[in-house]
A and B are shown apart, each in its own frame.
Chain A
Amino acid sequence: GAGVSQTPSNKVTEKGKYVELRCDPISGHTALYWYRQSLGQGPEFLIYFQGTGAADDSGLPNDRFFAVRPEGSVSTLKIQRTERGDSAVYLCASSLFFTGELFFGEGSRLTVL
Chain B
Amino acid sequence: AQTVTQSQPEMSVQEAETVTLSCTYDTSESDYYLFWYKQPPSRQMILVIRQEAYKQQNATENRFSVNFQKAAKSFSLKISDSQLGDAAMYFCAYRGSNTGNQFYFGTGTSLTVIP
Contacts and interface: CB of A to CB of B under 8 A. Distances in A.
Partners in one complex: yes
Interface of A: 31, 33, 40-45, 48, 50, 55-56, 59, 89, 91, 93, 95, 98-99, 101-107, 109
Nearest to B50: A101
Contact of B105 (A31, A42, A107): A42
Interface stretch (B60-68, B70-78, B80-88, B95-103): B95-103
Contact of A93 (B45, B100, B104): B45
Contacts, number: 58
Given A42-B91, A42-B108, A101-B47, A106 B101 contact: no
B103 A45 contact: yes
Interface of B: 4, 33, 35, 37, 42-47, 50, 91, 95, 97, 100-108
B26 to A, nearest CB: 15
A91 B45 contact: yes
Given A104-B44, A106-B43, A45 B102 contact: yes
A56 B107 contact: no
Given A40-B107, A42-B108, A48-B100, A104 B35 contact: no
Nearest to A45: B102
B75 to A, nearest CB: 14
Interface SS of chain A: strand
Nearest to A93: B45
A56 B43 contact: no
Q: Which of A43, A59, A89, A104 has the most CB of B within 10 A?
A: A43
Contacts of A31: 101
- Please provide the 3 A-B residue pairs with the shortest distance between their CB atoms, ordered closest to farther: A42-B105, A104-B45, A106-B44
Contact of B45 (A43, A48, A95): A43
Given A48-B102, A98-B101, A43 B35 contact: no
A23 B44 CA distance: 14
